[in-house]
Each structure stands twice: as structure tokens, then as C-alpha cells.
Chain A
């Protein structure tokens, strides 16, 4: 097992290197640091001195790949590629363009993100599965038909409307929960209810349909027929046999997104002003803080690749047919 994990970890190195080079290309080759400096300093009347000062202040004054002015090792280390990109591998995110330590910001901001994303995922998952099981239980009836219609309608509405509508209805008109903000400890609960409910509702359409398709495929299999022939009731068949066997695809689908929960949801957090990584990213995009955006791109891919790794491990744990290769 450990050998397998180590081998899988080795596979992810070229992937991360690819991501790293791609982001480097995107951020430093498409536009030179000079372009970025001009963008940051405003469009007009930017002197050469101001540009070079900005570059020195933010560490962009080095050559891209090879610094021929230095000796031996330093020809490689004293470059933008090494300073800005390679250091991401050891999670040294450096300083943002506005002068803050990105690593510290991330450590502080990932917990609020998780506080929204984790309950949203868990509650959403159980609601989706329950709705799908109900539709399968009453299959080929009006209940299923209208359930499916409701799913299509729910998934045809943009997530933005759920948020704006929810905030308007529950916070502004009914005054049940605060519009936005975040607190610590138990205090945070009242801020979290609305975002969690909204993300559960907005995900119900596509989620319900997806799990229903999964279960429908399962209920026609032989073991289900056997279970029914033994005299089990339809509810028992569904909840014990079908759900149990459908657990493998469900579980692997969930595991892959688990690490990404730290990144939070971009729009949700910015609408509800939750100080998580999602709103951090949005702020960075709006301020055009490239150092943060670059770090978040890299962090996101690391977490995704970690999710893939966890999925593979899960497969080997829950499904005995999958052999370690």
C-alpha cells in the first residue's frame, strides 16, 4: 500500500511541474513584468524609473530563466522562474503585490472557507441522495415526473439568482438571518445557515438527476431482482442493497472534491463576505494582484491532484476488485 502511494505521488510530480510551467508562461511570458508594472501603476504618465522601482520592490527585476550575471548556482536561482515558480513547490508563496504574506493569509482564511463548504457538501449530498432515492422509489409515477421537472427547473436558474433572491427574501424582507458577514465560534452559525441552504438548493437539480441516473441503472441489476424475490420490501431493497452498491461511485465522486473544499466557493463567499479563500481570490482578481492569483492557481491544482490520489486509494479500500498496480 505504502509503495503504491509513493508511486502515485511520483506520478503527480510531472503534473505539478506542468501546471507550474503553464502558469509561469501565462503570467510572465504572455505579458512581461513591465506590462504588469504599468498596469498596476496606472496607464498614463508612468516613468521608466517608476516601473523599475515597482519591479525591484516586488522582486520582478530578475531575468526570466537564466541570470548570466551571477556565478554557478545563482545563474538559476536568481531568476523569476526560480524565485516565483519553483518556490511554490515547497509552499513558499511569497509576498503579494500589496505587500502581505500570502502563506499566512491562506492559513488564516482556509478555515472559514471550510466552515461553509463542508456542511454545504455533506448536507447537499444527503439531500440529493434522498431526493434521488425517493424518485426511484416512486418511479414511473407522477411524483417522479414532477420531481424531474423540478430538477430541470432548478438547474436552469443561475446560482447568482439563488444568492440574490435568498439574501433579499430571508435577510432583507423576513430579517431571519444577517445579510452577510462572519463571526467566530457559535456566533458564526447564523452567518452560515443561508449560504449553506442556498448552495444545497442550487445543487439539488443537477445532483438529484445525477444520482437518480445512478440508482436507476442499479435497480435493474440481477442482485436487486434477487433481493425482491426474497420478499424484501422496495424500501429495504433501495436503502440497503441499491444504496450500498451505489456507494462506490458516490464516495469516489465526493472524495475528489474534499481537498478542494479549502478553496471555498468564489461567488458564495464574496456575496456573503465570508473571509475565506474564495473571496480572497476574487479580491485578488479585482485588484489584479497577480502573485495571489498565481499562488491560488497552484494551490488549487495541488489540492485537486491530492483529491485524485485520495480517490484512487479509496477505490482500493472499498472495492476489492480493484488491484494495486
Chain B
């Protein structure tokens, strides 16, 4: 078991979220907005897909040492589950579902002759005797097998649950009607099972320049995207909340100082500030190699630094909003009353101010998430993002630039990164919209 920094923080974040969820489970004020989100179908579908992404990201955040695997010997649980994907590497590019390499080479045939052509892949479609004829049918069969495996799994799961429920109720009732959510989950699980089945026989998204499976790369990139989207807010939140509320509540010189510092930070164009900070971190890492023992922890620390820097540069917006809201709240009757009754300032802050700005914090966290995932790609493109050895959509797109100019075009890494990133960002956006609609009091006047 090896705990990288980001792993620890991710699980800390998860525990914090779960603990606060546990304590707030019976809180009246949350029921109406939560019901509103639950009634929003697109939000619920998005949430299920997001949860699958999160599950993959969490699996990829549990690292352990496995001797003989990879150079560094550190693999994650996800790596362990997808061993065939990353162990079966080809020589170079190959198209999705192809059984042949994408470039010509000399092939030595059984009778000793050499010919110039597209060699067969070592793994992709290697179970086929004659790929030209058999492949389409084989892909379809494998897909159907995979889908039905998933379907059987779902049915048996639903059946088991029905049986358990029936036993509890003391009567046999096998009428199970999965609701809207249930159907979505079944569709996702069945689809996933089809993909898993296919990916054990083919490189379903092709291979990249060094012959690594592109599908594996996109899956590994999920963690990077999630880490940047969530850890950055985790780092930014305390700064924004503490400073914003203090500035609004105490006013005077505290307010002046905090306003001055966030205006100063804000006036530096954020990309430049991030670039400058990352450059400095790079120099620091180059000049202190003894602190970064292996490749994994080095890449991981760079990811952490990126989150830190993004967090430090992005707290200003939320801080300003919280300050304005607190300025308004502190003049409210109940805060004034609490003051008159002799409640200490710290008590007022926690009892009256913080719960009443919570919706702003929540909305800004979910809205920022998708923006951060997109920002990672841009930053990686200008070389101030994650470490080049880290799997990320930004790095994939960066590499795809040259591939698009190649003849014939290598389009699959770009499309793969595009599709996965698009799904994540789109679902995050839809979910964020629903959260905003549910929690923003200004949007609730009409219903």
C-alpha cells in the first residue's frame, strides 16, 4: 500500500463530504432543494454518469506496490483490474478495432519470405484467423455477449434485491419496476460491460505512437481531471470562506487588507500567474531532486502543486461574493438581535452567517468543477499543466496536434480524449445547473 499525496487528499475530501452528508441528513432546509434536484431528470442522469467517473477515479487513487510490474512497481487498483489493457502493447499506431498496424513494415512469413505490408497486431484481434472476413461478425458477437453479460448481471441484481425485500415483507412479490434512475443505471452498466468485453479482444480506441492502448489512457485521465476539479476547490474553499466572511463581518482595516490582497491577485492575468508559479515549481523540483524519489511521486507532487496554484489563484471570485453577502447579512434583524443578546462574534459567524452563505459556496463549487477540468487541458497544452508523464486529456490533445498533421491522419487519440472529456464536462455542467437552480433563492421566487 502506497499513499500518494493526492490519494490521501482525495480520500480526505471524500470522508469530509460523507461526514457532512451524514450530519446534514435530517436538516430541514436541505430537503426542498434536494427534492428539486431529484425531480430534474437530466440532473439525475448526469449524476449517475458522474458517479461512475468518480468510482473509476477512486479506484485509480488506491496505489500499491506490485513487484515486476512497470518500472516503478507502483500500480493502482484500476491498473490491477485492467491489466490486459496496459500489458498488451503494440509496436506503434493502430486504428480502433483494427487487427493490423497502421504503418507498413517488412513481414516475415512462415515460409521465410519477407513481404512489405501491414503486420498483424500482437494482441488486437489476434484470436482471428482471417481478420478481413471474420472481424465484423466477431466484433458484433463479442459486443452482444458483453451486453448480455451486463444485462444478466443487472437482472440478477434486481432479482436478488426483490427477493430480499420480499423476504423482509414476508411475502413473495416479484413485481419489480425499476424507476427512471434504475433504467439509467442498467443502461450504463450494460454498456460498460459491452465495452469491457470488447476491450479484452481489441484495442477499441486504437493504440498510440508507442503502441499503448488509447482506451487505457483515457480511463487513466479521468483521475487527473477529477483531482484537479475537486482538490482545487478543496484548497480554495478555506481561503475564500474565511477571508470573505471576515472581510464582510468585521469591515474596517480587516476588510481593506483582504480586499487589497484579492484585488492584487486578481489583477494578474490568471494564466500568466499560473504559468509563472509552475515555472518556479519546476525549477525547485529540478534543483532539489533528492525530495522526489520516483517518477510517480514526482508527477503526483506536480499535480498537487498545480491544484495548489490553481486554488490560490481562484479563490478571489468566491471571496468577493461571500464578502458582499456577509455585508448584507450582518445588517439583518436576526444578526443584530444576536449581537444585542450578547452572542460572541464567533458564535454569530458560525450560527448565523455561515449557514446563510452555504448555498453560494455550494453553487460556486459545482460550477467551478467543469471549468477546472477544461482549464487543465489548456494548461497542459502550454506546458504548465500536469507532468508530461501523467495521463491526462490535456497531454493527449497536445500529442494529437502532430498526429492530425500526419498523413494518413491519426484521429483516434484526439477523438477519445474529446469524447471522455466532453461527457465529464457536459454532465458536470448539467448537474451544476440543476444545483444552482435548486439552491439559488433568486431563482425560486416563481415556484
Contacts and interface: CB of A to CB of B under 8 A. Distances in A.
B287 A35 contact: yes
A304 interface: yes
B276 A15 contact: no
A161 B420 CA distance: 13
Contacts of B266: 304
Contacts of B414: 161, 164
Interface in B361-408: 370, 374, 377-378, 381-384, 393, 397, 400-401, 404-405
B279 A18 contact: no
A297 B404 CA distance: 33
A266 interface: yes
A38 to B, nearest CB: 6
Given A164-B414, A285-B275, A293-B275, A30 B284 contact: yes
B272 A152 contact: no
A305 B429 contact: no
A18 B264 CA distance: 6
Interface string A289-300: 010011011001
A79 interface: no
B283 A164 contact: no
Query: Binding site of A, secondary structure by majority: helix, strand, loop or mixed?
Result: helix
Contacts of B422: 156-157
A113 interface: no
Contacts of B370: 156
B384 to A, nearest CB: 6
Contacts, number: 124
Nearest to A152: B429
Interface in A47-85: none
A222 B65 CA distance: 68
Interface in A275-309: 281-282, 285-286, 288, 290, 293-294, 296-297, 300-301, 304-305, 308
Contact of A26 (B277, B381, B393, B426): B277
- Which of A36, A39, A156 has the most B CB atoms < 10 Å from its CB? A156
B19 to A, nearest CB: 31
Interface residues of A, number: 48
A267 interface: yes
B412 to A, nearest CB: 14
A39 B279 CA distance: 11
Nearest to A304: B267
A159 interface: yes
B157 interface: no
A263 B269 contact: yes
Given A164-B397, A266-B382, A285-B279, A296 B377 contact: no
A156 B269 contact: no
Contact of A301 (B269, B381, B433): B269
A222 B284 CA distance: 60
A290 B284 contact: no
A31 interface: yes
Nearest to A284: B275
Nearest to B414: A164
Given A160-B381, A285-B382, A288-B279, A300 B268 contact: yes
A251 B259 CA distance: 24
A305 B265 CA distance: 11
Nearest to B403: A164
Interface in A87-142: none
A36 B283 contact: yes
Contacts of B265: 22
Nearest to B401: A164
A210 interface: no
Contacts of B384: 285
A161 B282 CA distance: 27
A304 B382 contact: no
A39 B283 contact: yes
Interface in B52-81: none
B50 to A, nearest CB: 13
A160 B400 CA distance: 11
A153 interface: yes
A270 B426 CA distance: 27
Contact of A267 (B264, B282, B381): B381
Nearest to B398: A160
Interface string A223-235: 0000000000000
A293 B273 CA distance: 9
A34 B378 CA distance: 31
A300 to B, nearest CB: 4
Interface in B408-425: 409, 414, 418, 421-422, 425
B268 A19 contact: yes
B154 interface: no
B4 interface: no
Contact of B268 (A156, A157, A168, A301): A301
A35 B283 contact: yes
A43 B276 CA distance: 20
A152 B422 CA distance: 11
B375 to A, nearest CB: 9
A155 interface: yes
A238 interface: no
Contact of B429 (A155, A159, A286): A155
Nearest to B370: A156
Given A19-B267, A160-B397, A297-B276, 6 more contacts: A31-B287, A36-B283, A157-B422, A158-B418, A164-B414, A286-B382
Interface of B: 260-261, 263-269, 271-273, 275-277, 279-280, 282-284, 286-287, 370, 374, 377-378, 381-384, 393, 397, 400-401, 404-405, 409, 414, 418, 421-422, 425-426, 429-430, 433
15 contacts: A18-B261, A19-B268, A31-B284, A39-B282, A153-B426, A156-B429, A157-B422, A160-B377, A160-B378, A161-B397, A161-B418, A267-B378, A267-B382, A286-B383, A304-B266
Interface of A: 14-15, 18-19, 22-23, 26-27, 30-31, 35-36, 38-39, 43, 152-153, 155-161, 164, 167-168, 172, 260, 263, 266-267, 270, 281-282, 285-286, 288, 290, 293-294, 296-297, 300-301, 304-305, 308
